Amino acid sequence: MALGNLNVQVDLATEYILGEKVEQNQAKAYSLIRDAAEKGNRYGQLMLGVCYQDGIGVDKNLSESFNWFVRSAEQGNVVAQLKTGMFYQDGITVERDLKKAFEWILKSAQRYPIAKFSLAKYYFNGWGTEPDRTKAKQLLDSLKVDEGLGKEVAQYCDIIERGDTMTAYEFQFRWIPSMLFEWEKGNVDDAQLTDITDWQLNLGSYFISHYEWDWKAISAQVYSQPNNIDIIVYRMPEPEKMPLCRYVAAVLDRNQHTVRYFTLELTKGVKGKVSDKKPWMFCGVGNDFAHLNFGFYDGDATEQGFLKSIIKRISEKSKKKKKNKKDNRPDPEKIQAINDSICAEGAVLYTAERINWISTDSVLARYRHEDLGGNLIWQPTASTWSAIFYDKDKKNCIFELKFDTKSGAHSLSYNVRPITQEEQAQIKLKTVMLDNAFDKYGDQITYNEKLGNPNLDFVRINDNLIRLYVLQGTVQPNTIPFGNDCSIDFDNNGNPLCFRKYHQSLIAVKTVDDEGNKVVSVMHSHLADNPYITPTDVCNFLLYRGELEDSYILSTALGGNIIHHAATNTTEFKPTEETGKCHVGSE
């Protein structure tokens, strides 16, 4: 088909996406776009990247989206060039590279006004190139007449002319807290909380001329605590005037999805460096940005001292909250909704573990352990799984299992083929995540060797988050291993974000009694810091239950029992007095 006709074909496809002039049909739109893209049409390649980016007629797949944007960009499509630059800027499926981002945006800006606006930010801030604020201003001035961008551009020109400065006070007491409160609302993901480069890109987009601090002095450290709480300590430049901070910290309660913000503030101006012997205040910022003062700080004015003071304060506050469980129990609808979402997560984990089992058994039917170089189990799209085993040279795939969760279709192949570049990238990422997991949290990952080896499963939670589950496996018959389980979240570069321990100990529950009789149901208990079912509870019960239909979880925090029905992977909650007796394992 001629180039012009292919462009018309893609135009028609966009009409099927919009559904304004024709009946909406995203599947047909995707088919038409895919056809044009595979025939080398750069417009079709751009739109195919959009389809994969937004999940239009196909499962969302950002890696595939990036690949098609690059192909279109290389043929000169200015929109694709900008999108490729933004993928490099934000580190989406590729390592963040501001130099490459600048190069692509520079190409796009020659004929695309929106890219010219982005290019002005790069020159102004010196992202991936030498800073040139004169050139940035010239680019913005040239856009003032643009019908779509002119008004916004004029505002930024005024900001540049004023030479706006962001104060350290505004940064520490307004900007960081506002970002944390947006996390609380679900508008900011975990990776953004510790990505200081992302902070610079965010603030730099507002053409701020000067910051009252050196960005190199800003860093973050996550300290995981019991009860699914993380404390992020942010290191600030040494303060020289009140009430600036040496450290600020966020306490993230992941069970309640709430955040608290603490500060270690200087109480008066001091010339030169601040001595630890000078007075400090222990303070914070409330959700309404009110300044909270907890009094003079009497601890060690170091990072560890500040951390200990925070832990002490949240512990004391927790002790004061002695509540009647029945009166303060969440609404049944909330309990049901939370447990339903966890069951859904557990079902995905169960799929990952089953694929692990089946692929391992299948490959060992033809190969010896010593002939294998390793394996990779991952999700190419939101509804598909792939499991491969490769040779010792890590060059060839010697076994492959594919599974589609929507249709249930699956296939096995022992055909030897080269490992693809995408698979190589996933293998490398898996290695990085495992190394980081055991380097940072190795002392907290436990398992019982007599019962069985741990099972490790990677699951993509969303576009920006990958979760590693560590489950206690078992080789003992008639045993369900609850406990010795945890998860670690990673960003797309394999950097660990947080650690969760689901149970404090191992609960090996038997499915037969001492006389060999099958039990009707099984039970284990959760302490107050773990009120709901866990994805690992769901997975291991489905894996090892045999003929059992139900599992009971005694929730001391909720004052009742969560009943997990295996056949439907659903739960129901009943107060303790309404639940019958069964075999109990305690945490």
What confidence score (pLDDT) does residue 492 get? 82
CA distance 472 to 304: 32
What confidence score (pLDDT) does residue 585 get? 42
How confident is the model over 273-321, as pLDDT tens digits? Answer: 444 455 898 988 877 677 778 878 888 899 999 999 999 988 876 665 5
Residue 40 tokens, joined: 């080398």
What confidence score (pLDDT) does residue 276 get? 47
How confident is the model over 388-420, as pLDDT tens digits? Answer: 999 999 999 999 999 999 899 999 999 999 999
**Residue 247, strand partner residues:** 235, 264
Edge-to-edge strand ranges of the sheet holding 496-501: 454-462, 465-472, 486-490, 496-501
Residue 303 tokens, joined: 């990072």
Check whether the bond before 177 is cis (ω within 30° of 0).
no
- All CATH 1.25.40.10 domain ranges of the chain, comma separated, are 3-162
SS3 36: helix
What confidence score (pLDDT) does residue 328 get? 65
Pick the closest to residue 75 from 36, 114, 113, 102 (CA basis).
Answer: 36
pLDDT band (50, 70, 90) for residue 539? very high
3-162 has which CATH code? 1.25.40.10
pLDDT band (50, 70, 90) for residue 334? confident
What confidence score (pLDDT) does residue 333 get? 82
Q: What is the DSSP string of 330-346?
A: PPHHHHHHHHHHHHHHH
Residue 537 has pLDDT above 50, yes or no: yes
How confident is the model over 200-255, as pLDDT tens digits? Answer: 999 999 999 999 999 999 999 999 998 889 999 999 999 988 889 999 999 999 88
> Which residues, 6+ apart, have CB-to-CB distance to 487 below 8 Å?
467, 468, 469, 470, 499, 500, 502, 535, 536
CA distance 430 to 375: 10
Pick the closest to residue 550 from 526, 577, 523 (CA basis).
Answer: 523
Residue 111 tokens, joined: 């004929």
**Residue 418, strand partner residues:** 396
Residue 93 exposed, middle or buried by CB count within 10 Å (0-12, 13-18, 19+): middle
Biggest alpha carbon–alpha carbon distance for the chain: 86
User: Which amino acid is residue 353, in one-letter code?
Assistant: E
pLDDT, greater one: 377 or 524: 377
Mean of all residue pLDDT scores within the chain: 89
pLDDT, greater one: 503 or 349: 349
CA distance 39 to 33: 10
Q: What is the DSSP string of 127-188?
A: SSS---HHHHHHHHHHTTT-TTTHHHHHHHHHHHHHT-EE-HHHIIIIIHHHHHHHHHTTSS
Residue 587 tokens, joined: 């945490």
**Residue 480, strand partner residues:** 509
Percent of residues, the chain, with pLDDT higher than 90: 64
How confident is the model over 51-96, as pLDDT tens digits? Answer: 999 999 999 999 999 999 999 999 999 999 999 999 999 999 999 9
What confidence score (pLDDT) does residue 586 get? 40
CA distance 551 to 568: 12
